[in-house]
Amino acid sequence: MKTVITYGTFDILHVGHVNLLRRARALGDRLVVGLSTDEFNRGKHKSSLLNYENRKAVLESIRYVDEVFPERDWDQKAGDIMRYGADVFVMGADWSGRFDALSQYCEVVYLPRTAEISTTEIKMSLDSSS
In tens, the pLDDT along 52-101 reads 999 999 999 999 999 999 999 999 999 999 999 999 999 999 999 999 99
Q: Which of 69-78, 106-115, 117-126 has the highest mean pLDDT?
A: 69-78
Specify the pTM.
0.88
Indicate the residue type of 22. Answer: R
Positions marked active-site: 44, 46
Give me the mean pLDDT over the 98-110 stretch: 98
Total domain count, the chain: 1
Domain that holds residue 81: 3-128
Cα separation, 29 vs 55, in Å, equals 23
Mean pLDDT of the chain: 91
* Percent of the residues in the chain that have a pLDDT greater than 90, as a whole number: 75
Provide the Cα torsion 25, 67, 4, 16; round to 10°: 50
Cα separation, 23 vs 66, in Å, equals 14
* Whether 93 contacts 19, CB under 8 Å: no
Q: How far is CA 84 from CA 30, 98, 129, in A?
A: 10, 21, 42
Which domain CATH number covers 46? Answer: 3.40.50.620
Cα separation, 92 vs 100, in Å, equals 13
Tell me the β-bridge partners of 107.
Answer: 88
pLDDT at 14: 83
